[in-house]
Structure 1
Amino acid sequence: MKAVFEKISNPQASTVTAFSYKEDHFSAPWHYHPECELTCILESEGIRYIGNHISEYQPMDLVLLGENLPHRWKNSDDSTSKASALVIQWSHDIVPEVVDLQGIQMMMANAKKGIFFGKVVAQEILPLMQKMLKPEGNKYIQLLKLLQRLSLVSNYQHLSGDDFSPDLSWETGHRLDIIQHYIEAHYTEKITLSDVAELVSLTESSFSRFFSRVMKKPFFSFINEYRVNRASKLLIETNASVAEIGFSCGYESLPYFYKQFKKIKGYSPLVFRKVYHRESDERGKMYDRFVHQEDS
């Protein structure tokens, strides 16, 4: 996708900005900015793109982004909930290089690829993020306390691959924009290399080299990640059989769908469905507690 430069506007000229986002959907395109960002999704679900990483998101999705990392949250087309999130953004160079803050500096170095924190961490961090929305208090000090707490977490997930380095040139962004929109529109169908290569005026071999160089993964690996994440949503939200879901997401072979799903998610489709439903009640309780705190 075309990564759009986003200039963060802060009328108070502060190095830290905190705000609450609530609209019908997330409207920002795939974009980047020199500021670091911590985003916690409160409502809505869909697909998030962080560098060369694709995965589904749901409420209590907490992600830390380093500077100039392209990203985008895209609501599911059939989502009925509002898009709601808490967002904190800050200049990447505001953390002083002192021994006591080395943990934060190491974490922010990792955040250049994107970091996902689990729901237990999100539950603990939400009140700290909520506090930063209030006009009183020193946001810089509050941010350092928040980052210090996050730096103590040892089991977070890296998102983009270690070898990923964003190519922010216009030509690359324009090509990726065309490719991404084509996949979103045609993932239920058979997608051929020749069709996509023609869209961006490249030969098949040139296109394969281009995509692997920029995204650090083969084109069909990217398609499989997208399809598996769409299948995950259907496993969560419907009672359709695994076979129906696999075929509806563009897979022509059920064994191949099982293989790709387990490779990407770590579970078979059936186990994934069971694990999600076992944890969904807990996520709902977390969000209810946050809403109660916000209203009080």
Structure 2
Amino acid sequence: MKAVLEQVAITEQQSIRAFRYSKKGFDAPWHFHPEYELTWVVKSTGIRYVGNNISDFSEGDLVMLGSNLPHCWKNGEEHTGESESVVIQWRRDLIGDLPVFKHIHELMDRCQRGLCIHLADREDIVSRIQKVLVVDGLHQYLQFVELLDYMASHARYDYIAGASYSYDGTSATTSRLETVQSYVKDHYKDKIKLSEVAEKLSMSEQAFSRFFSKTMSKPFFVFLNEYRVNISSRLILETDLQMAEIAYQCGYESLPFFYKQFKKFKGYTPLEFRKMYWRI
């Protein structure tokens, strides 16, 4: 998934681009743009990529993204039906430099790493997003500023990309990452060797390890296990499969190692994770 520069269609007459997306699946490539973005997933499941972070997403996912932060949403194999989201995009200079906008500017500074809004705060924010969709012109601008002001004052969130993440945006880097991410998506169920991935990039294992760690701020096998754990979390929540079968389907030959990796990334064992969400 090459991080391509997206040309956001905000005309001189517009200050905000707000639209509803609905298709069979999320088909946007891994991309970035100077505009800030607020995305609410109305209907869909899969894997969300933001910077160096991989997370599973489902209906209700709500994130705010900073300028030029690479991102995309990809549906998993298990996804059926329509994928629907609401997206709002805007330029930094939309918000003036008046003191009254100080908290909004601070929010936009923090979202340079991407912000995932806590579930408990999403309902009030979503109701304000919907108001932005149904008006235009000055009314849309006022509704949008009210939305950002509310988020700056009330929204709780987690950072998405790591604090040390930075992206150079060169064509060589994006092409290599596209190859690695596509390979992981196609082969995560298999036993993946570092030499196999390095060969895809015509690099030595050592050179590939240095490149990936520097670019993604994490070693390749951490990235791979993070991907596998996020796939397994959907299977845990949405199927009755035994943990051994889920582990096998996600590329783990050792059940204890699967448990160790799952707890590392999710904070719970797979069984605790299933029981916790089944009680909701």
TM-score (norm 1): 0.91
Tell me, what secondary structure is at the counterpart of 1:86? strand
- 8 Å Cα contact 2:235-2:241 kept in structure 1: yes
1:38-84 per-position Cα deviation (integer Å, ceiling 9, x unaligned) = 00000010000000000000111000000100000001122113110
Tell me, what secondary structure is at the counterpart of 1:157? strand
Tell me, what secondary structure is at the counterpart of 2:279? helix
Tell me, what secondary structure is at the counterpart of 1:9? coil
What is the aligned partner in structure 2 of residue 5 from structure 1? 5
- 8 Å Cα contact 1:3-1:70 kept in structure 2: yes
What is the aligned partner in structure 2 of residue 232 from structure 1? 233
Q: What RMSD, in angstroms, separates the aligned Cα atoms of the two structures? A: 1.3
What is the aligned partner in structure 2 of residue 58 from structure 1? 58
What is the aligned partner in structure 2 of residue 156 from structure 1? 157
Please state how far the C-alpha of 1:148 moved relative to its aligned partner: 0.9
Percent identity over the alignment is 45
Tell me, what secondary structure is at the counterpart of 1:201? coil
* In 1: Cα distance, 2:234 partner to 2:13 partner: 41
Report 1:100-179 matches (<5 A). Answer: 100-136=100-136, 138-153=139-154, 155-179=156-180
What is the aligned partner in structure 2 of residue 22 from structure 1? 22
* In 2: Cα distance, 1:254 partner to 1:91 partner: 48
* In 2: Cα distance, 1:21 partner to 1:154 partner: 24
Q: Which segment is superposed worse, 48-57 or 123-132?
A: 123-132
What is the aligned partner in structure 2 of residue 41 from structure 1? 41
* In 2: Cα distance, 1:138 partner to 1:121 partner: 24
2:146 aligned partner, one-letter code: K
What is the aligned partner in structure 2 of residue 254 from structure 1? 255
1:38 aligned partner, one-letter code: L
2:134 aligned partner, one-letter code: K
What is the aligned partner in structure 2 of residue 186 from structure 1? 187
- 8 Å Cα contact 1:66-1:92 kept in structure 2: no
What is the aligned partner in structure 2 of residue 198 from structure 1? 199
Please state how far the C-alpha of 1:119 moved relative to its aligned partner: 2.0
What is the aligned partner in structure 2 of residue 75 from structure 1? 75
* In 1: Cα distance, 2:251 partner to 2:92 partner: 41
- Unmatched segments (≥5 aa) in structure 2: none
- Unmatched segments (≥5 aa) in structure 1: 280-296
* In 2: Cα distance, 1:149 partner to 1:212 partner: 37
2:181 aligned partner, one-letter code: Q
Please state how far the C-alpha of 1:276 moved relative to its aligned partner: 2.1
What is the aligned partner in structure 2 of residue 94 from structure 1? 94
* In 1: Cα distance, 2:22 partner to 2:125 partner: 19
Please state how far the C-alpha of 1:209 moved relative to its aligned partner: 0.3
Tell me, what secondary structure is at the counterpart of 2:134? coil
Tell me, what secondary structure is at the counterpart of 1:20? strand
- 8 Å Cα contact 1:43-1:81 kept in structure 2: no
Tell me, what secondary structure is at the counterpart of 1:93? helix
**Does residue 222 of the first structure (1) align with residue 223 of the second (2)?**
yes
* In 2: Cα distance, 1:6 partner to 1:19 partner: 16
TM-score (norm 2): 0.96
Tell me, what secondary structure is at the counterpart of 1:102? helix
- 8 Å Cα contact 1:258-1:269 kept in structure 2: yes
Alpha-carbon distance change, 123 to 198 in structure 1, aligned in 2, over 3 angstroms? same
* In 1: Cα distance, 2:174 partner to 2:13 partner: 30
